[in-house]
Amino acid sequence: MTSPALSGVVYGSLNGTDLVHLPLEEMRVDALIVDISVRVVLTQVFLNNLSSPSPRAKYVFPVPSGAAVCAFQMCTSDDRLIIGVAKEKNKASKEHEEAVLEGKETALVEWVSDDSAYV
């Protein structure tokens, strides 16, 4: 299972040796239970204290086996809504890297199994 220390919004420090975590300012959980299933909507607000955007930030969230992520949305500090779109992993990674090289704002959500190592 993923360590709680590896959850939230993280990015590499300027010295490149440490992970920096953005502080979690607020969290809300809404759950709807029907029979043996549950739909959970988790809202988290993180604070970026930097004077510039976080470089190559990554949102890490442990999902238990047997669960699935069916949607992802991100609202930026300037109130833009970014809606995630599910794509094949290699295609999504390629498009993400191309967008980074073009200087576009981009995000990539990636599923990692419980037994995978985080680097």
Q: How is the chain classified by DSSP, letter by letter? A: ---GGG-EEEEE-TTSSSEEEPPEEEEEEEEEEETTEEEEEEEEEE---SSSPPTT-EEE----TT------EEE-TT--EEE-----HHHHHHHHHHHHHTT----------TTSPP-
Query: Could you tell me the residue ranges of all domains in the chain?
Result: 1-67, 71-109
pLDDT score, position 118: 44
Q: What is the mean pLDDT of each run of 10 residues along the chain (119 residues)?
A: 63 74 92 93 87 73 80 84 84 90 81 53
Which pTM does this prediction carry? Answer: 0.68
